[in-house]
Each structure stands twice: as structure tokens, then as C-alpha cells.
Amino acid sequence: MTAYHHGSLRGALLDEARRVLARDGLDGLTMRGLAKSLGVSHGAPRRHFVDRDALLDALVAAGFAELTAIIERSAVHEDSRARLVAYISGHMEFAKDNAALMPIMFTTEPRDPMSPACQAAGGFFRRGRELLGDNESGPPPALVYLLAATTEGIASLATSGRLPSDRVHDVVDLAVEVLLPVIDG
């Protein structure tokens, strides 16, 4: 049983939900199970999340907020190579630490475009466009999709075990070498 401090049940639920996702996968995540793990009544989580979908929405929003922070940290580099390396490497670290959350973040369609998850995802993708020097509105250029596909693809391969962990650095370096001339182009 995981303890929590009175008044911080929402945060404790989110933390425990990440642990359960990592350990048991999405099918093992239930509101009752979280309540039991935290030693609260089975109805207590509903004070913060109306249902499991609302909990997942909050998890996705938190994940995108973390990825946006990674973009922010990588954006401080003036050199485009250093920015790209920092961004892709940071994304890989996040993916490694949050392997069970990644598919939910990148494959689940939010029901409400005003949901926290949708808003956080939008912020993440807007910031990614800015990282590439695209500050326009409207449909993103193909380069944005190329960076997303490359980064998400490497992350997917790494978290699924199809890309051995000792090769991730080599693949990231190669992705930077391939993408850099296009980005700087």
C-alpha cells in the first residue's frame, strides 16, 4: 500500500497510476485498484477523476507537459545540432522512463478537444514546430511530421525492445546526422 498525505490524493492517484501502468499495463489500471493501493475508499478517486478515462486524460496531459519541458530545455541551445540532440535524447529518456504511457499519449484520441490532454498535446506539438523554426499557423510542414515520426519511431522501437538499449545512442546520432541538413536547409 502506498501512503499519501491528506489533501494530495489527486497527485497520489496519478503517481500510482503510472506505477500500475508500468507494472500491469493499461488493462491492470482500475479506479478501485488505485483506491485500494492508496488505502482510501473506492469512491475517493472519483472526487478527482469522474472515471478512468478522466484519469488517463490527466496522465496524458502530464506526459505532454513533461515532453514540452524537454523541448524547452533543448531550445536553449543556439546550435541546431545541439538542440536536435537534446530534444531527441530527452524524448528517448522520457520514453524509457514512461514506456507504458507512450502508446496512450501517441495513439489515444481524446474525446474532447478542450480536454487537458488535447490542450497539452497541442502545446507540445506547437513547441516542436517552433524548435524547427516554424512559427506559422495552419497545417504543419512535412518536416514537423518527419521529426515526429523519427523521434516517436525510435522511442517505440526502444521501449518495445526491438532496438537494443546499447544501440539507442547510435540511432539517435544517425537520426541527427540525417535530419540536420534538412532542418538547417
Among 109, 27, 102, 167, which residue's Cα sits nearest to residue 117?
109
Residue 87 has pLDDT above 60, yes or no: yes
Same domain, 103 and 32: no
108 band by pLDDT with thresholds 50, 70 and 90: low
pTM equals 0.87
Same domain, 20 and 87: no
Q: What gap in Å lies between CA 80 and CA 180, rounded to an integer?
A: 8
With a CB cutoff of 8 Å and minimum separation 6, the contacts of 17 are 29, 34, 55, 59
What residue has cell string 540532440?
A: 85
Same domain, 20 and 34: yes
Same domain, 42 and 68: no
Backbone phi, then psi, for 113, in 5-degree steps? -65, -15
Q: Indicate which CATH number applies to the domain containing 171.
A: 1.10.357.10
pLDDT tens readout for residues 24-78: 999 999 999 999 999 999 999 999 999 999 999 999 999 999 999 998 988 888 8
What is the structure's pLDDT at 4? Answer: 57
Backbone phi, then psi, for 23, in 5-degree steps? -85, -45
Same domain, 59 and 45: no
